[in-house]
Structure formats: C-alpha cells, structure tokens
Amino acid sequence: MPAGTVVAAQAFTLHRDPAVFPAPDDFDPDRWEAPTKAMADAYMPFGRGPRICIGQHLALMELRTAVAHFYLAFPDARVSTREGMSDDDMDEENYFVMSPRGKRCLIEADSATSS
C-alpha cells in the first residue's frame, strides 16, 4: 500500500466479522454477557476517536427509555404477520442508513396497558 493512503473501517463490516462475532447475523444478545477484548475493540456503532458522535450518550439513553416505554405499554409485542409481513422483512440492509429489507416494520400486540 502506498505511503499516505487513507484507510478506513466501516462499522457494519467490523460488526459482522465472524472471527470476532461468531454467527454475526444471528440475534444473540447473550454474546454480550462476557464480551472478549476483540469484541469490545471491533464494536464502534458511534465511531471512534476525535470524530466520535457527540450525541452517543444521549442517543443511548433515549433508545433505552423508548424501548422500556414501548415494552411497558405493549409487553406481548411481536412482528406482525399482517399484509404478508414476515421476519425476513426485518432482515437489515445497509446502504448509508440501515433499514429493514421489507422497507416497513409492522408490530402488533394483543393489548396495551394504560399509564
């Protein structure tokens, strides 16, 4: 590689390295029960270094709060099967911004609690 070449790593690719994350496309939150150093080094959803996202901590707090409120209101929520929706529709596609392959997200629940 010539001197002065700019090298960059795309987070999407780093997060799916099977040498670091076995079965990287499987939903497996338990993998974070005992993360390895390689996992911690490769995981960078908000970037790294001097150009890290300045909104990282706010975004994480808001996501946790939103998910908690959602599941408090809809404890039995699941991906809907209406209108031909399937789990495959929720497989991610990554262009510039990640989105579900089916370009939609239908969620249904049997009831909602009032708060």
Give 57-96 pLDDT, tens digit per residue: 999 999 999 989 998 998 888 888 888 888 888 777 766 6
Query: Which is nearest to 51 in space by CA: 20, 97, 11?
Result: 11
Q: Is the pTM of this model over 0.75?
A: no
What confidence tier does 114 reach under pLDDT thresholds 50, 70, 90? low
CA–CA separation, 105 vs 25, rounded Å? 19
Query: Based on the structure, what is the number of domains in the chain?
Result: 1
In a domain, 43, yes or no: yes
pLDDT at 85: 85
In a domain, 70, yes or no: no
Range of the domain at 30: 1-53
pLDDT at 77: 87
In a domain, 15, yes or no: yes
